């Protein structure tokens, strides 16, 4: 019986030995833990905010004092009878001694021209020159005090205009003087067949109505980049 007990004990011990070796961790072949890597992300820039109301107010304040209501008296003949008709338009002063720009179609048949200044004064003006193709005219406001200096608006560079630029149309639509409308440039160089054979026009969706004619189209810097001339009243706002 002793040899059998010895064999049994050997099996049990061997089993225990196998079980124990399987339970141990082989630290010699285990891979080291991966190193810790700290990543610092760049700070996200804050979204840029634009105070558009201040931009409009600043641009408007530079031009509004130079804006004038133009009131030409036109002379026409109908059925052999001479008639005088007063029309309303706009203009903008460009020199301190009273030269102003308006539309040719506003003054080409005028027998006399009156202008209302920023301070509500009614003054006379005379036609200096005009161009039918560009529909531009230059008038001179006649001041009672030659030494008086009038507020003026500056010209910008219309060659730098691109589609999508913001613009403002100033004038007196339907006789409501000192009005402003906001829009964008649709096309800065539009050819209009039948209106002008040699000039390109600035297309905008800023509202331009009768009475706006001759008023300035300005950029967000408050500089003149065009003169309001033509409005279309079908298919949405489109003006030139």
d(CA 215, CA 90): 5
Query: Is residue 202 within 8 Å of 225, Cβ to Cβ?
Result: yes
- Which one of 179, 181, 207, 213 is the catalytic residue? 213
- Among 84, 33, 69, smallest CA distance to 212 is for 69
- Which one of 97, 105, 158, 165 is the catalytic residue? 105
Taken as a whole, the chain contains a residue count of 240
Coil, strand, or helix at residue 9?
helix
Integer angstrom CA distances of residue 104 from 43, 132, 210: 57, 6, 14
What count of other Cβ atoms lies within 10 Å of the Cβ of residue 102?
29
Contacts of 55 (CB under 8 A, 6+ apart): 220
Q: Tell me whether residue 23 is one of the annotated catalytic residues.
A: no
Spatial strand order in the sheet of 231-232: 224-227, 216-218, 166-171, 179-191, 200-204, 238-239, 231-232
Query: Is residue 220 within 8 Å of 59, Cβ to Cβ?
Result: yes
- Which one of 90, 135, 181, 207 is the catalytic residue? 135
Q: Tell me whether residue 21 is one of the annotated catalytic residues.
A: no
d(CA 1, CA 150): 134
Q: Tell me whether residue 207 is one of the annotated catalytic residues.
A: no
The residue with tokens 């201040």 is: 54
Tell how strand 216-218 and strand 224-227 pair up: antiparallel
Which residues have a catalytic role annotated? 105, 135, 213
């Amino acid at each position: 019986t002793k040899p059998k007990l010895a064999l049994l004990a050997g099996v049990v011990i061997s089993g225990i030995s196998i079980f124990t070796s399987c339970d141990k961790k082989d630290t010699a072949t285990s891979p080291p833990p991966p190193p810790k890597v700290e990543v610092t992300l760049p700070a996200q820039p804050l979204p840029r905010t634009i105070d558009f109301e201040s931009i409009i107010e600043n641009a408007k304040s530079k031009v509004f004092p130079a804006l004038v209501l133009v009131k030409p008296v036109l002379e026409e003949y109908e059925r052999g009878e001479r008639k005088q008709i007063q029309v309303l338009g706009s203009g903008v002063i460009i020199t301190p001694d009273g030269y102003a720009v308006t539309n040719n179609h506003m003054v080409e048949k005028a027998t006399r021209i009156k202008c209302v200044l920023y301070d509500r004064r009614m003054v006379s003006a005379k036609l200096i020159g005009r161009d039918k193709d560009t529909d531009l005219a230059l008038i001179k406001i006649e001041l009672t005090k030659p030494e008086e200096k009038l507020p003026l608006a500056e010209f910008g560079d219309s060659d730098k205009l691109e589609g999508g630029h913001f613009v403002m149309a100033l004038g007196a639509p339907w006789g409501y003087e000192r009005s402003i409308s906001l829009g964008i440039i649709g096309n800065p160089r539009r050819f209009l067949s039948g209106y002008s054979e040699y000039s390109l026009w600035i297309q905008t969706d800023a509202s331009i109505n009768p009475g706006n004619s001759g008023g300035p189209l300005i950029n967000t810097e408050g500089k003149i980049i065009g003169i309001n001339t033509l409005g279309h009243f079908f298919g949405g706002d489109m003006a030139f």
